[in-house]
Structure 1
């Protein structure tokens, strides 16, 4: 399809006729409830609008820069792995007109278990592919013995698959799993507390006793936790001297300032190896760390994002203009310095940002929380800066700004980055 009209003036007949041809194509292939994702510069393929509104936006604001391949509107991708990009990605809000989610596809992406693999092989067969995150390429293939029991990963997958196939109530279009995920999504978007969600669940059980509604927020979390991507709690010195991590995991006091690890140091500890519910001690400070490696692996394992991770190499317009971090001098200088890393377009480029804020607004001026966020620069420019693409790496609590002491908390992240630089195995979509 000729798209030279996209370079014409928005006041020209050629451009306006071209917009109409785009709308005909998009509404034929990707419309939902008579709406499509608007590709204008302001909406950026995030917000859904009716045809008249999209037409007006494209005439007034124009297309988002670089959107020459209409992957959010039903156009086939260049890769044979997936025929059409889900037009709903990467919308991060909660839309009133929500279509029924592909729950099975989401779980197969999360566990890297393809439908075709399960048609021919036992449950603990794992599809294989080669992939490079750091600079080295690996290949791994695992097939099970027919009489062998499913491994832990496959067992979790089949448990979730059962939850997905179980109806919320007889005749419902929602499964238990989709109901749990939708409700938990609303909890996160609305900032509900766990107790408020539990009270809502109690009300729903009274109103709909025939539905399979969980007892509490905690019970709901138990069901969906196996989807993965959780976080680790790491104790730290309240004076930001050290982490109780690695070889220093079992220390009871800071080796720099001597401050105790625990608030209630006189209480007898019943479980010092793990900080589970049996332990009655409360640590002075806790770092929430979100492991990076499984999150990067998900980007390549998911059919929704795998192709975008090589966009900077396969689809970027290299015309000398600064449109993407790949056009910058720093990117090109790094490629010249490490040609083996740069030779594989799947090698991941990351940016890191952090800043402190007071989560309690004006209620407490002596508290500062520092999130550390990672940005995957492989993605197209309209995706890598979206909230849905940002990777939360850690949350550092405290009563003051960290300053140079932030390097203490970056230790787990740096350790993972070293592993990534050496290269690791990853199943790819």
Structure 2
């Protein structure tokens, strides 16, 4: 509260206003409003405002009032400080409680099956990892902060994963940010300490040693074998001196179990709802927008009605091929790719098939089937068991393959061959591009080129831990591998450009729309029958008739619809009316467009 009015003249307006403000302030902040001491009084008991008081009494009263005002101000300030301290303590207590609640939710979802179902996994509350995780979730970033240590580490780790920041750059960032915070802050000082804050929360990988010729994995009955039962090669590396390097395996497979990850996807209610999108929210109008609209998917539904296909294809179209929902399952050490015995490395995956759905709050048995594979053409050889090289290199055509040798490039060209696409749904759900981009991300994890697999495994599990914790975090932030704006599923991706087209280009576009609209099909049939009657005697070829139909149909269709409208023929839809009129020569163009969450970019 301002004190300048105390030094003003006693009969001035500023002094009177100041006293009134002080009285209001004193009444609002005193313990008992009925007993407020007023030292600035005359001996007659009347207020000195507006009255005549001897100079020495006025000075005494002024000094007494000033002392009382300062005492009241100090008491009020102390009261406000106590209230602020109490609020700060309550906020810290609230943040700690929220952090504890968050830690409990994460650990519950990560380790334990809800509902007390027997046979579920549990976590050790006495373990050092669990204690450290709970402590970090309860500890404020600094005194008085609403943000906990876990919240800050989650957000910073997510930023690191999104932009591919190296550990050294991340350590420098932590050091810089920490220097701006109070000295008692709990922010990790480097990347190593930040990694320890986030344990893997139950996500693990298993290393299986493999035969150099890929005949067996050393698991099950062969777990303790020292050599391959089929080719008799040693399990261990052999040095230049011919001696075995014990405990240094010749070939290693890193396996990331899928069951814990499937369980976690269903532990999050928001993700669990998305995983049944294909069943509950998909549009069913015979149009092929999603793999669930394909004949292969419908065949599974028909043959096994109680079977739900449990892969990321369950997700909506705008999330199917995103990085967050791609699963690294098997990582095989080099230097050469797996050969025809690829099924050996798939054994742990096949063996891994009771899961809880957090959205429907029910348990169900997890089932899976292999619909199709996405691979490059060399890998097609290994997966299909067919030769894909030479003159009979097409696995679909087989002996009927038509191939030509190109002498200058010394390559074989297969012409006139196209795979059946309708069987598997929209083709962009089987493109290699998203997986190639994902492989680039995995390769960027490598920090030690002598042990690339270990670098990839550690960094991948850390990223998945961050994504999982973010599902239960009190603070909201965009996790890596998701669209920037999930609320926008359709619309332009750039500014509008007005473009003028020539008549030939306009007519070709109009004809293409007419020939591919189901409501126009009856008119197409009528026009073809008309042409057949006109040229019945001349016996024109089919190719000529198709060309004539394409040349005349748009004008004929416009006149036909106008005649039906004038004659008030019933059944002419609004769509037919719009299609009959030819489009404008001026069109709006965009550099890109979003359709059902899929981005399409145009070419010049």
* Structure 2 length-normalised TM: 0.37
* Structure 1 length-normalised TM: 0.50
Structure with bigger RCO (C-alpha 8 Å, 6+ apart): 1
Q: Mark the structure with the bigger radius of gyration.
A: 2
Q: Which has the higher helix share?
A: 2
